[in-house]
Chain A
C-alpha cells in the first residue's frame, strides 16, 4: 500500500450534513465522536467546513429544500472523498419514501459508498461504516 493510500485511510476527517433528519442520527453521530468511542484514535476529526473534509456523513431523507445544498456541499469537498449515508432515511428514504416533499434517498443525488442502516444506527455501526468506507475507497 502506498504512503498516500495509508495516510488517507489513517486520517478521515468527517463533515456532518443534515438533510432534514429527525435529529436521531445526528445525536448518534455526536455520540460516536465522544471520548467513549474515541474516533480520534482512528484519525477521525469532526471538521466544520466541507473543504477540510474527506468523509461526508449524510443523515435524513433529502428534502426538496436541501437538494441544491447537498449537491453544493458534495462539490465543495475536495477529491478523493467518501460519502456515508447514516440511518434508514438517508439509505432508503424509509417512512418518507414516495412523499412529494422528498427528493431522496441520497443515492439518487450523489454517489454513496457505504450505507449504515438503523433508525438510528448505533455509534459502533457509524464508526464501522466510516472505517469500511475509507478502506474500500482508498485501500
Chain B
C-alpha cells in the first residue's frame, strides 16, 4: 500500500524532471550549433499549449484505439520512470522489477506505433514498420545487457539489489567487473535508438516521413505522446546512471549521504548520460538509413552483449 502511495507521489517529480531534461537537451543542442536556443522550460510551454488545443480525430482513424493509445503510452512510461525513482527513495524493490521497467519502456514505443498504424495515414504505417524494425534491432542487445546482470552471482533482476551491491562494494558496477563494463557499454549504445534521437530517428524522420506515427496526432494527444517520450528518455538515462554508475556508492562508505543528496547525484549523473548518449550524437550525426542502423545494432551492441554474457559465465 505504501509503495503505491509513494509511486503516485513520484509521478509529479518524474513529470517535472523528464520535461526539464528535454529542455536542457534542447538548450545544449542549440548552444552546440552556436544558437541561443529555447528557454530551458520550453517543453513545459509546449506541453501546456498542446494540452489546451482542439482535439481532432481524423475520419480515417480507428477512433477508439487512436484516442486511447496516447493515454496508455503516457501512463505506462511515467510508471516506468517512477518505479526506479521510488525504489531508490524507499530502498526496497520487487523481484524482477527491472524486467517490468524494460517492459513498460517497450510498451510505450509499441503504443505510439499502434497509434500510427491506427491513424489511417500511409506515413503512419511507414513509421510503424520502421519502428518495428528498429525495436528488433535495439531491444535484443538492451535486454541482454540488463539480463546479463543476473548471470553474475550476488546480482539479481531486482533494481535495488543492484544498487545495494554497488553501495556494499563502494564502487560503480561498470568498474568492478569486465562483463559489467561491456554490459554498460551495450546499454549506453542502445539508448539513442530507444530515445529516437537523430542518428536513429528513422521511424519519425521529420523531413522524410513527416513524424511517422505522430503525423495525425495533434493537441492533447500529441502532448501526451511527447510526455511519454520525455519520460522514457528520462527512464533510460536514470537506469544507465543508477544500474551501472551509481555515483553515491563512491561516497556512501565514507560519509553518510542523505537521501536527497544521493538522489541529486543520481539525477546529475543521468543528465550527463543523457547529454552524452542523446544530445551529442543528435548534434554531430546525420540520420542513418534503416538498413545501416539495423546492421550497426546487430553488429556492435549485439556482439558486445553476447560478450558480456560470455564474460559473466566465465566469471570475470
Contacts and interface: CB of A to CB of B under 8 A. Distances in A.
Contact of B215 (A48, A54, A79): A48
Interface stretch (B28-36, B107-115, B237-245): B28-36
Interface in A1-31: 3-4, 6-8, 10-11
Interface residues of B, number: 32
Interface string B192-219: 0000000000000011001100111111
Contact of A35 (B34, B54, B216): B34
Given A35-B34, A38-B35, A38-B36, A48 B53 contact: no
A110 interface: no
A40 interface: yes
A11 B42 contact: yes
Interface residues of A, number: 23
Majority DSSP secondary structure for residues of B touching A: loop
Given A51-B56, A51-B222, 20 more contacts: A4-B48, A4-B49, A7-B46, A7-B49, A8-B52, A11-B42, A11-B46, A35-B33, A35-B35, A38-B36, A40-B37, A41-B36, A43-B46, A47-B206, A48-B206, A48-B211, A49-B215, A52-B217, A78-B54, A78-B56
Interface of B: 26, 30, 33-39, 42, 44-49, 52-56, 206-207, 210-211, 214-219, 222
Interface of A: 3-4, 6-8, 10-11, 35, 38, 40-43, 47-49, 51-52, 54, 76, 78-80
